[in-house]
Structures are given as structure tokens and as C-alpha cells.
């Protein structure tokens, strides 16, 4: 049975791969649009499910509060970069510079989660909770992956 940490890591690998591929693209190309859309959808599905089935349960404990605040702030920063990239002309030289910043933020965030937050969370969450959250996270993640971010109404 998978734990929530293993489930989250699967999406982390996809994010790293897509971010790396995106930085190899140039100009207003179909490839850049496609990879950006994939990364955007991946980040959105992952973040939404992770917030709900990893960070919110942690937030209920005193020791989990700080890591949760920090992680949610970083999710927000990444969302803002995604919005900016979505609104920018894909052939603008500033686009790839911002995409590089986003990639760095994604890598930093994932490393911090995997090498810090997961260890702390491992002490907070019980064994049964770790597997139960994995199932809930996976279901939610799949649901959002199928929806695609642009189909969701911005609130």
C-alpha cells in the first residue's frame, strides 16, 4: 500500500520532467504551448489535491502549521507565475526567463518537501492516515487532471 509521500513523489517526477522539457522549447511554438499546458495542469491537479489531503490535515496540528504556511505560500507564488506566463506572449524573450524562474521555484519547492516537510509530516501523521491520505490524494489528483485547469471557472 502506497503512502501519501510516495503518491506525491510520482507527480513531483512529472513536474520536474515537464519543467525541464519546457525550458528546451523556443518561441511561440506548438511544442511550447503543449508543454506549458501540461505543466500547468499537472501543477494545478497536484497542488489542489496536495493542499486538501496533505497540508490541511497537517495544519490541524501545531507542529504542522509552519510547514503548511510556507508550502501554501510557495504554491501561491507558483500560481502567480503560471498566470503571468499564460498572459504573456510566448515569443517574448521574457517568457523563457520567467519559465526558468518558475522551474527553479518548482525544483526548490519539491526538494524542500521531499527532504524536509515529508520527514516532519512522517512524525505527525499515523501509519493508517498516511495510506488513507494517499488514496484520497490520488482520487482528487485524477479528478483534477481530467478537468484541465482552463475548464475551471476562475473565482
Q: What is the pLDDT of residues 29-66, one digit of tens each?
A: 999 999 999 999 999 999 999 999 999 999 999 989 98
The 3-class SS string of 50-106 reads HHHHHHHHHHCCHHHHHHHHHHHHHHHHHHHHHHHHHHCCCCCHHHHHHHHHHHHHH
pLDDT one-digit tens code per residue, 105-151: 999 999 999 999 999 999 999 999 999 999 999 999 999 998 865 55
Distance (Å, rounded) from C-alpha 134 to C-alpha 4? 4
With cut-offs at 50, 70 and 90, classify the pLDDT of residue 21.
very high
- Alpha carbon distance 47, 54 (integer Å): 10
Give the other-Cβ count within 10 Å of 91's Cβ. Answer: 12
Query: What's the pLDDT at 150?
Result: 54
CA 93 vs CA 8, 90, 99, 155: distances in Å: 33, 8, 10, 30
pLDDT category of residue 14 using cuts at 50, 70 and 90: very high
pTM score: 0.92
Q: Distance between CA 155 and CA 148 in Å, rounded?
A: 15
Q: What is the pLDDT of residue 149?
A: 54
CA distance 55 to 133: 11
Amino acid at each position: 500500500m502506497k503512502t501519501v509521500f510516495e503518491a506525491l513523489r510520482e507527480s513531483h517526477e512529472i513536474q520536474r520532467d515537464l519543467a525541464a522539457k519546457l525550458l528546451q522549447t523556443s518561441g511561440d511554438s506548438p511544442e511550447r504551448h503543449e508543454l506549458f499546458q501540461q505543466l500547468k495542469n499537472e501543477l494545478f491537479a497536484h497542488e489542489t489535491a496536495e493542499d486538501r489531503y496533505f497540508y490541511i490535515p497537517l495544519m490541524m496540528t501545531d507542529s504542522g502549521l509552519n510547514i503548511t504556511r510556507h508550502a501554501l505560500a510557495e504554491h501561491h507564488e507558483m500560481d502567480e507565475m503560471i498566470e503571468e506566463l499564460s498572459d504573456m506572449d510566448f515569443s517574448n524573450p521574457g517568457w523563457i526567463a520567467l519559465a526558468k524562474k518558475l522551474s527553479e521555484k518548482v525544483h526548490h519547492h519539491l526538494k524542500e518537501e521531499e527532504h524536509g516537510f515529508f520527514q516532519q509530516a512522517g512524525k505527525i501523521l499515523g501509519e493508517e492516515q498516511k495510506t488513507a491520505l494517499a488514496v484520497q490524494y490520488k482520487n482528487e489528483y485524477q479528478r483534477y487532471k481530467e478537468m484541465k485547469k482552463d475548464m475551471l471557472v476562475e473565482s
